[in-house]
Structure 1
Amino acid sequence: MTRSLSVLATALLLGSSTAFAGDVQMAGGTVRFSTPDTWLSIMQTDGDPEVQVFQVPDPSPSASTMARVTVTVKQVSNLSAFNQYVDGFVVRAKGMKGYAAGKSATANDFLYTAEESGVKVSYRERYWFAGNRAIQLRCARPSGTAAWNAAFDRGCDDVAARMTL
């Protein structure tokens, strides 16, 4: 029994060392950002596009839709190709069930709500063009408590503010 517990404890410790996001580099280190330690890295792809997905723990016991943050880096040939890339995501968003546009702060910052599996989700997508790369930061969260919503939004804002391109 003691051996089983020590094996389990070791496995949990080893697993936890890679579960937290922290500092992230993408596109050969040309795109860098940091995430809150509570965000769990749940998916990573290499290539073109390169994608990192983080799950943001939701404290509500009835959370049926996962709060998540996705960073995507895609090679584009020029500014026109970047605009087409952004337009493709905007068209996709507008096609989502229950889509409702919010008020965006800038031309490359999109706020909207839509439904996922019958749950209203708030989205904020931000786009940058740097070094022939299109970078998308997409934050998606179901509605939670006011404090949790504010903390989630602040975390997304911090990632955007600290992103090095």
Structure 2
Amino acid sequence: MKKTNAMRILDKNKIPYVINEYEYDESDLSAVAMAEKTKVNIDRIFKTLVLFGDKTGYLVACISGKTELDLKKIAKISKNKKVEMIHMKDLLKITGYIRGGCSPLGMKKTFPSYIGNSCLNFETIFISGGKRGMQIEIGPKDLIKILDIHIDNISINS
């Protein structure tokens, strides 16, 4: 298996993780589909969303797979008046990752990052491994430490 940027960062920092590969369907790259394929509890799957804030620029949010990001909450927490999702066509240019394979680790640049506080309910969570069909299982505290990620309630249904 070829290492992704996300894995190289974890290796360099001696952070333990487990790779979980699965067959994916390009027509459905959702966390729900991933949970069904892998039989992983969807509450433990954290999707990575990239946004643009009117004051701070780009930022990253990781939320549980079954929840929806609360744009008003993330704007307030990130000290923006307004945030919006970036256009999918810009994802690769901004992060170095494609849709369905965007990891909060190893982006082209380091952006302020936020994660839903429900991550602390689990010993390990799943984040994208940096390519489609690959998830990294990692302790949320390790992810928080390595990314200096902010923890808060940023979902509508959390």
TM-score by length of 1: 0.29
Q: Which has the larger radius of gyration?
A: 1
TM-score by length of 2: 0.30
Task: Say which structure is richer in strand.
Answer: 1
